[in-house]
């Protein structure tokens, strides 16, 4: 058994200072120490974002990496299944490294709850299958530095995640000294619905680009949204997400928390619904520079136009209930430009729910720049706007 500082102090010395995840009783001492503040009695910067799901945590960490942070994702192995999609379809194609700490509920010789039986048997094998190398979490102070050296060497060389598997009792519990997150006020929602004919997604994105400043970074959700943005114009401040459906909002949050420039998420209704809990995380963390746009055509456009459940959802009102600073409901290009212009003038986070027509251009192309190149030029674009370390 080690003290939390035995792990966190050398970890931070290597530049890993941004943490996100979902709690597990095995992780309690580690998370509590991060949540409680600096290690070693100093003013070390250790940020923690409590995610609504493990997959969201992976996306948040990826956004923070784009903004220059060294990231750690922590969760229970029962939630490893939730993280498989972004670990394989976000981190792998974009070559984004992150240190993963997963617990081992139901591990060898450990009597545990029945829901942990299967995952307890397959945790190391599952990491092998998704090509994430791993080591046991160090349980002796002198083993921490060698373990971190192995992990960092791999991540530096391959630009991919590395995992530690933590067994019960690995870290001494010193209790929790933390202030609960404040409940944000419910911001206003402005209804600009006209009921007129709806524009298409590409035209809506063109209207947004007309009013966005050049220092705004844009993260476009997977599918035709990113493909259309690339078709309109390919720029270094554009990130075209592939796979990891639902992860754009979390990725935008991770980036927005760590830079001063505007971060704009181009989301879809189906993607937003997939990780609706991200709205609660965004509202709680309250990034003032985040504009979250949901282009809502009521369909899964990239897979043939099957209907989503979005007609039953007022996204701006959900965001309002989750603590966003303001929301807009729009269905016209003029209303859209008005909403974006106003959102840029006031602290966020903001959500703009834009109703659009289904469909897209025929023979729509795909980005010709590779995901790793997209990620690194986006990271370079954000570099001048990184927040100074505390």
Q: Indicate if 219 and 368 belong to the same structural domain.
A: yes
pTM of the model: 0.93
Q: Indicate if 142 and 194 belong to the same structural domain.
A: no
Domain boundary (166, 197, 220) is at 166
Which residues on adjacent β-strands are paired with residue 48?
Answer: 19
Domains in the chain: how many in total?
Answer: 2
Domain boundary (166, 181, 209) is at 166
Q: Indicate if 236 and 350 belong to the same structural domain.
A: yes
Residue 298 CB partners (closer than 8 Å, separation 6+): 269, 307, 308, 310, 311, 358
Q: Indicate if 333 and 225 belong to the same structural domain.
A: yes
Predicted local distance difference test score (pLDDT) of residue 357: 94
Query: d(Cα 265, Cα 294) in Å, to the nearest integer?
Result: 8
Pairing of strands 263-268, 238-240: unpaired
Pairing of strands 70-75, 47-50: unpaired
Domain boundary (133, 166, 199) is at 166
Q: Indicate if 11 and 120 belong to the same structural domain.
A: yes
In a domain, 180, yes or no: no
Predicted local distance difference test score (pLDDT) of residue 171: 87
Predicted local distance difference test score (pLDDT) of residue 178: 61
Query: d(Cα 195, Cα 201) in Å, to the nearest integer?
Result: 17
Q: Indicate if 244 and 150 belong to the same structural domain.
A: no
Question: Residue 273 corresponds to which tokens in the numbers above?
Answer: 């619904």
Query: d(Cα 242, Cα 223) in Å, to the nearest integer?
Result: 7
Where the chain has pLDDT below 50, the residues are 38-44
Query: d(Cα 246, Cα 23) in Å, to the nearest integer?
Result: 21
Q: Indicate if 233 and 374 belong to the same structural domain.
A: yes
Residue 13 CB partners (closer than 8 Å, separation 6+): none
Predicted local distance difference test score (pLDDT) of residue 196: 84
In a domain, 173, yes or no: no
In a domain, 314, yes or no: yes
Structural domain that includes position 153: 4-166
CATH code, domain with 203: 3.40.50.970
Q: Indicate if 265 and 356 belong to the same structural domain.
A: yes
Sign of CA dihedral 216, 327, 347, 47: negative
10 Å CB burial of residue 384 (0-12, 13-18, 19+) is: exposed
* Cβ count within 10 A of residue 358: 14
């Amino acid at each position: 058994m080690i003290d939390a500082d035995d792990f966190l102090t050398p970890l931070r010395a290597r530049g890993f200072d941004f943490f996100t995840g979902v709690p597990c009783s095995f992780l309690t001492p580690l998370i509590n120490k991060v949540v409680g503040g600096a290690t070693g009695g100093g003013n070390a910067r250790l940020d923690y974002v409590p995610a609504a799901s493990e997959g969201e945590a992976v996306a948040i960490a990826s956004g923070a990496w784009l903004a220059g942070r060294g990231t750690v994702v922590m969760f229970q192995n029962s939630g490893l299944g939730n993280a498989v999609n972004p670990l394989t379809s976000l981190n792998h194609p974009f070559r984004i490294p992150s240190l993963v700490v997963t617990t081992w509920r139901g591990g060898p010789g450990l009597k545990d709850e029945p829901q942990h039986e299967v995952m307890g048997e397959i945790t190391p094998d599952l990491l092998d299958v998704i090509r994430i190398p791993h080591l046991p979490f160090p349980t002796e102070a002198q083993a921490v530095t060698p373990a971190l050296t192995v992990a960092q060497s791999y991540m530096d060389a391959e630009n991919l995640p590395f995992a530690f598997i933590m067994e019960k009792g690995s870290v001494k519990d010193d209790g929790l000294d933390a202030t609960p997150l404040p409940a944000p006020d419910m911001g206003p929602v402005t209804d600009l619905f006209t009921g007129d004919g709806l524009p298409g997604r590409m035209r809506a994105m063109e209207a947004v680009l007309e009013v966005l400043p050049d220092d705004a970074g844009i993260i476009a959700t997977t599918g035709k949204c990113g493909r259309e943005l690339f078709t309109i114009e390919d720029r270094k401040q554009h990130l075209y997400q592939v796979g990891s459906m639902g992860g754009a909002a979390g990725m935008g949050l991770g980036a927005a928390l760590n830079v001063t420039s505007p971060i704009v998420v181009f989301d879809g209704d189906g993607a937003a619904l997939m990780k609706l809990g991200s709205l609660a995380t965004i509202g709680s963390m309250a990034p003032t520079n985040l504009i979250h746009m949901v282009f809502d055509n009521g369909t899964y456009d990239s897979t043939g136009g099957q209907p989503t459940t979005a007609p039953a959802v007022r996204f701006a009102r959900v965001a309002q209930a989750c603590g966003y600073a303001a929301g807009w409901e729009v269905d016209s290009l003029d209303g859209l430009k008005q909403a974006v212009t106003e959102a840029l003038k006031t602290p966020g986070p903001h959500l703009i729910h834009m109703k659009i027509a289904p469909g897209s251009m025929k023979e729509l192309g795909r980005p010709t720049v590779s995901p790793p190149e997209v990620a690194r030029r986006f990271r370079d674009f954000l570099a001048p706007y990184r927040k100074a370390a505390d």
